[in-house]
């Protein structure tokens, strides 16, 4: 494949995807920690008649997004044998449910519930909001430490 | 540049008006945009739009010749900055730095160890009908809900 003309195309496409993703996060309310915490506060659903004080709006974000990605992952590879600007589809290969998956997801959920930020909204509001900036700096540090530990473990065990 | 900033302020103000109009509809439209961005990245580059994976890979292999990850992150940060400025409502008072650092570390460690976050396991993993991702989503939703409940109890 001729890589020169597609390089700027690839970068432009990735940048555009990031912009649209950010617009979705802002519009949906995911960048407002109070809304996220209101959604995770499930026990508030029993305070008064359903949904009580629970804020179910963010379920509609995930619902709307998954409706689109269900179509995306079902159709794209039927319509085209390779991505528009790349040689192949990089589908995640792992399917096993192991300790790292469960423990990692559990820790991530705890952090999400503490501050109301997950990685996308934190990055999207990092330049607007001091809380998000501190959170993001700590998150990047955690990522670097874990990546380093995991690659060292992979070397010693394999 | 100034007109661009004013323009994006106007957009985010109309977003706010729209959001007040019907929060459920707006949330779903926001979700559809997130899904559309994920589709664009999958169709164009054959990559799954997992924010934590993209960020961690960009950080650990910053000189990788294929810089699409940095371009995606730039779009995310610039887009969030421009569109979010009109939404700078005081949603929460500034929280203690220790809490933010703890939460950030947990999210950083957890997303790398568990190979994904709300976007990679949630939006894309569920769309791919991955059982592994479904288990991850149920796990982080559960611990998130437990954490919020415990925090509400402590406050």
Spell out a b/e string for B99-134, using b for 16 or more CB atoms within 10 Å of the CB, else e. ebbbbbbbbbbbbbbbbbbbbbbbbbbbbbebebbe
| Pick from A136-150, B54-68, B95-109: least confident | B54-68
Q: Could you list the residue range(s) of the whole structural domain that residue A86 is in?
A: 1-91
Q: Are residues A116 and A55 in the same domain?
A: no
Verify whether the Cβ–Cβ distance B39 to A117 is below 8 Å: no
Given a cut of 70, whether residue B131 has pLDDT beyond it is yes
pLDDT band at B16 (very low <50, low <70, confident <90, very high): low
| pTM (two decimals) | 0.91
Given a cut of 60, whether residue B90 has pLDDT beyond it is no
**ipTM of this complex:** 0.94
Q: Is B14 helix (H, G, I), strand (E, B) or coil?
A: helix
Verify whether the Cβ–Cβ distance A66 to B144 is below 8 Å: no
Given a cut of 80, whether residue A157 has pLDDT beyond it is no
Q: Which among A53, A55, A62, A69 is the top mutation candidate for probing chain B, defined by the most B β-carbons within 10 Å of its own β-carbon?
A: A69
User: Which tens digit of pLDDT belongs to each residue from A22-77?
Assistant: 999 999 999 999 999 999 999 998 888 888 889 999 999 999 999 999 999 999 99
Q: Are residues A28 and A42 in the same domain?
A: yes
Count how many pairs of residues, chain A against chain B, have C-beta atoms within 8 Å: 487
Alpha-carbon gap: B42 to the closest alpha carbon of chain A (Å): 7
Q: Are residues A105 and A83 in the same domain?
A: no
Which residues does chain B have within 8 Å of residue A101's beta carbon, measured at their own beta carbons? 114-115, 132, 135-136, 139
Torsions phi, psi for A52 (to 5 deg): 60, -130
Task: Find out whether the peptide bond into A51 is cis, omega within 30 degrees of 0.
Answer: yes
Verify whether the Cβ–Cβ distance A145 to B108 is below 8 Å: yes
Q: Are residues A4 and A81 in the same domain?
A: yes
Given a cut of 70, whether residue A5 has pLDDT beyond it is no
Q: Are residues A38 and A65 in the same domain?
A: yes
pLDDT at residue B127, as a whole number: 97
Domain count, chain A: 2
The angle at the Cα of B126, spanning B121 to B131, to the nearest 5 degrees, equals 85
Domain end call among A91, A111, A139: A91
Verify whether the Cβ–Cβ distance A123 to B76 is below 8 Å: yes
The one-character DSSP state at A51 is T
Q: Please, what sign has the CA dihedral across residues B28, B151, A111, B137?
A: negative
Cα separation values, B108 from A30, B29, B73, B142, Å: 18, 28, 16, 18
Which residues does chain B have within 8 Å of residue A133's beta carbon, measured at their own beta carbons? none
Domain end call among A52, A71, A91: A91
Q: Are residues A126 and A87 in the same domain?
A: no
3-class SS letters over A125-157: HCCCCHHHHHHHHHHHHHHHHHHHHHHHHHHHH
Verify whether the Cβ–Cβ distance B127 to A41 is below 8 Å: no
Q: Are residues A85 and A143 in the same domain?
A: no
User: Which tens digit of pLDDT belongs to each residue from A38-49?
Assistant: 999 999 988 888
Verify whether the Cβ–Cβ distance A142 to B108 is below 8 Å: yes
User: Which tens digit of pLDDT belongs to each residue from A96-148?
Assistant: 999 999 999 999 999 999 999 999 999 999 999 899 999 999 999 999 999 99
């Amino acid at each position: 494949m001729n890589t020169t003309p597609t390089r700027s195309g690839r970068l432009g496409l990735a940048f555009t995807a990031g912009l649209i993703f950010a617009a979705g996060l802002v519009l949906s309310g995911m960048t407002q920690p109070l809304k996220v915490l209101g959604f995770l506060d499930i026990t508030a659903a029993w305070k008064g008649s359903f949904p009580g004080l629970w804020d179910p709006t963010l379920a509609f974000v995930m619902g709307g997004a998954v409706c689109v990605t269900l179509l995306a992952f079902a159709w794209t590879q039927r319509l085209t044998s390779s991505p528009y600007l790349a040689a192949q589809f990089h589908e995640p290969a792992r399917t096993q449910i192991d300790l790292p998956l469960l423990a990692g997801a559990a820790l991530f959920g705890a952090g999400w519930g503490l501050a109301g930020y997950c990685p996308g909204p934190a990055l999207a509001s990092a330049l607007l909001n001091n809380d998000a900036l501190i959170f993001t700096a700590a998150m990047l540090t955690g990522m670097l430490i874990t990546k380093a530990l995991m690659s060292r473990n992979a070397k010693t065990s394999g | 540049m100034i007109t661009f900033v004013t323009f994006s302020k106007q957009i985010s103000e109309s977003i706010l008006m729209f959001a007040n109009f019907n929060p459920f509809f707006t949330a779903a439209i926001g979700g559809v945009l997130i899904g559309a961005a994920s589709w664009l990245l999958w169709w164009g580059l054959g990559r799954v739009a997992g924010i934590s994976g993209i960020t961690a890979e960009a950080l650990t292999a910053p000189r990788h010749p294929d810089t699409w990850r940095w371009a995606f992150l730039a779009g995310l940060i610039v887009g969030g900055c421009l569109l979010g400025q009109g939404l700078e409502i005081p949603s929460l008072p500034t929280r203690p730095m220790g809490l933010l650092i703890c939460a950030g570390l947990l999210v950083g460690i957890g997303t790398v160890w568990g190979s994904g976050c709300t976007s990679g396991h949630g939006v894309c993993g569920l769309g791919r009908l991955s059982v592994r991702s479904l288990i991850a989503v149920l796990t982080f939703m559960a611990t998130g809900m437990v954490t919020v409940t415990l925090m509400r109890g402590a406050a």
